Every structure is written in C-alpha cells, then in structure tokens.
Amino acid sequence: MNSEIIAVGSELLLGQIANTNGQFLSQQLAPLGINVYYHTVVGDNKTRLQEAIKQAKKRANLIIITGGLGPTKDDLTKEAVAELLNCSLNYDMPSLQRIEAYFVNSKRTMTENNKKQALVFEEATVLNNDHGMAPGMAICKDGIHYMLLPGPPKELKPMFTTYGQSYLLAHLHEQSIIHSRVLRFFGIGEAKLEEVLIDLIEAQSNPTIAPLAGDGDVTLRLTVKHNEKVEALSLLDELEAKILARVGSFFYGYDDTSLMQELVNRLLTKKIKIATAESLTGGLFSQQLTNYAGVSEVFSSGVVSYSNEMKEKILSVSKNTLAEYGAVSNECAIEMAEGIRRLCKADVGISFTGVAGPNQVEGKGVGTVFIGVALPNGESKAFSLNLSGTRGQIRERSVKYGCYYLLKEL
C-alpha cells in the first residue's frame, strides 16, 4: 500500500497547533509495510478538501483523513468525502447511543448537531471512539481505501491502534513488514559519515540506509522489508556490523536514546559517582543529568563557579594556573575536574570552561571550550574544542561533548 495522510483544520494552517497526528500515523504505518509518500494539510473548506482527495487518489491507494468529524458547521470532512464518493451517510446506532448516554450521565442537554457525530458511510467499517464521541470509519471504493479519524490526538491514537490497524492488516495486499533500527553517532559530521559509507549507501536496496543529521548527532536509519522477523533482524545485524566496522568509534546507542541517557545508564551500571564543576555551561550539564530517574544514586553534587575567585576558593584551582594559563584553558579545566572530585568524594569529576560569547575572554575566541575529566583511576584529561553557533548552541554542544568524552573514557 502507498498512502497519503490528509490533515483537516484551519488551525493547522494558521500554526495554532502542530500536526502531530501525521507524525504518529507515519510511525504506525511504517512497521505495517505501508509507504507514506505525502502529507497534506487543508483548511475547513469542502472544495479544497475534495481537491486534495482527488489529488491523493492519483498517487495513493490508502488515504487517511484526520479531523473534521465533530458537531460544528466547519466539521465537514465526512460530508465532503461522502459527496465525492457518492455514498450516503447513516447513523451508527451504537455510536449515537453512546453520545446520548454521555449527555444523560453528565446531566447536560444534548443539542441536535451532536447527533451529526454518529453519521457514518453506508457499508463502512466503523471504528469505535472509546475516548470521545465521533466514531471513525473505513471504506474501500474503486480499489482505494479511505480511513477517517477524529482530530484530537487523545481520540485518534487509541482508535487507530485498537481498530484502524486491524482494518489495515486485514486488507494489506502484501504481508511483508518494515523493520527499522536507528544507529546514533557523535563526533563525526553527516558529510564525513556519508563519505565513509558511500559504497554501502549507493548499493542499498533491502535493507536501506538513510542518514539523518541532528544538532551534533548524526543518525542512520536502517530499514528492511521482509515477511519473516528473524530474517529481517538478521539482515539488519549484517548491515550494522559492516557500518560499525568503519565508524564504530563514533557510535553510542540505538533508536531514541541520547548521549546523556547513555551516560546515566553507564554510571548506574558501573555504580560510578560523578560530580560537576561548570563555568561555561552554567549548570546545564547537571540540569540535564538530573532529568533522569534514579540518577541520585550516582550524582554527588555540582558547582557553578563562574568567577575566578570561586574557582580558587571552592575548586582549589591555583592562582598560578589562572595567572599563567587563564580560566579558559586545559590546565584550568583539569584542576576544576580534580577539585570537584576531591570536594565531593566522587569517582569522576567533569568540568566545563570556555567562551560562549558574544565577546572574547582572555583573548580567546567565541566557541573556545575546554572540558576536563578526572577519572576513577586517578588520571585526568582535558579536551579542547572550537565550536560554532549561538551562545545557547555552544553551551548545549559542550554538554553533549562532555557526555561523549565520559562515555569513551568509562
């Protein structure tokens, strides 16, 4: 099946709400082996909606339309589709009874337009709405499947997973399923990653490789279509092994993980206590670290030491170091990391010092960053970076690099 998702609602076009339904449905359709080639957004206008459906019919045999099933005048989706498909609308009595029961139970008067929500296409498969009023529906006309779903995500998501998915599985023309795996990398750019893997990318067929760039991260989505799960996973394993043989040193995790999540997992697994000394990042590393449940077992304490005076008093950075090398230096970063490790009696200390901008500091340019780590074996290291971007981006990227260096060292 090739599908198109049409989202209905002027509020989407005005930017008042985001089209998260489209994202959700694409994520759900991929494992079913259904290709999503187009997303369309159209306002609450019957003529434009019908034109969008006519266009979709030329390139898809599954059209999913979200929104416009409510009781008001601008909720016109099913009327527009019924007219286009030349099919009548009838009341689905179980749905109508649920709507009536809702108003009785809530002691509210039911207006006549609420009955409209129970209208469905004649001969359609009704998709019950267990979290709202308007049912969804699915129908096949001239070889094209149409599925109508309500707009509110709290109604659409359970309706699709409970009823819509079953309908599609029953009508799939092929039973091959799409399996995906995301490999996450850091410390290598998208262009360099593609250069190293270009022969694999150019030779791809099944599985396929799709590079995706993030803010500092680069991901590869490996996708295979197969009707046997074991064979599909074997094909993914084989391709992954070829990739990691070349760029495994930059690999840090799978799917929806993050560098900080992987660092927290590593600290918890190894029972390593960490303490942080932050100047450049102003506590951002500690803030992100403490977003994760259970981190209190491994996070000792953090100090934001912005001034040189506090670097000396709290972290025991020597006056000679500050005078000779400055606060923005490898030497200061190492002493900050060692100082916080001793102060907090932690296994690991990490420090951040540098220039986030907008002006130079100590003659060092914006984006100059030093990260210090004091390790459980007593060894200390500093890593220097020259980052670009805004003040916020430099700080964010510094935190990511801190996670990356610690993961490699631990």
Per-residue pLDDT of 130-178, as tens digits, reads 999 999 999 999 999 999 999 999 999 999 999 999 999 888 766 677 7
Mean pLDDT of 33-48: 94
Mean pLDDT of 82-107: 93
3 state SS of 203 = coil
Q: What is the pLDDT of residue 175?
A: 64
Q: How confident is the model at residue 227 (pLDDT cuts 50, 70, 90)?
A: confident
User: If residue 208 lies in a helix (H) or strand (E), which one and from where to where?
Assistant: strand 208-213
In 3D space, the residue among 336, 338, 348 whose CA is nearest the CA of residue 410 turns out to be: 348
Q: What is the pLDDT of residue 115?
A: 92
List the single range of 96-110, 124-138, 161-175, 281-295 with lowest mean pLDDT. Answer: 161-175
Mean pLDDT of 349-365: 95
Write down all domains in the chain, each with its CATH number in brackets: 2-171 (3.40.980.10), 185-254 (3.30.70), 259-409 (3.90.950.20)
pLDDT at 57 over 80: yes
CA angle, corner 87, sides to 81 and 89, nearest 5? 85
* CA–CA separation, 242 and 227 (whole Å): 23
Q: What is the pLDDT of residue 402?
A: 98
List the single range of 123-132, 215-224, 320-329, 371-380 with lowest mean pLDDT. Answer: 215-224
The residue written with tokens 């430099």 in the block is 394
Give me the chain's average pLDDT, please: 94
pLDDT at 48 over 90: yes
Query: Any bridge partners for residue 305, and if so which?
Result: none
85: left (phi over 0), alpha (psi -120 to 50) or beta: alpha
DSSP state of 85: H
pLDDT at 247 over 70: yes
In 3D space, the residue among 16, 36, 224 whose CA is nearest the CA of residue 147 turns out to be: 36
pLDDT at 338 over 70: yes
Residue 349 is encoded by which pair of tokens? 């200390």
Alpha-helical runs (H) found in 172-251:
190-202, 229-247
pLDDT at 214 over 80: no
Burial class of 355 by CB neighbour count within 10 A (0 to 12, 13 to 18, 19+): buried
Q: What is the pLDDT of residue 32?
A: 83
Q: How confident is the model at residue 228 (pLDDT cuts 50, 70, 90)?
A: confident
3 state SS of 376 = coil
In 3D space, the residue among 365, 349, 271, 360 whose CA is nearest the CA of residue 317 turns out to be: 349
- Is the full-model pTM beyond 0.85? no
Mean pLDDT of 368-375: 98
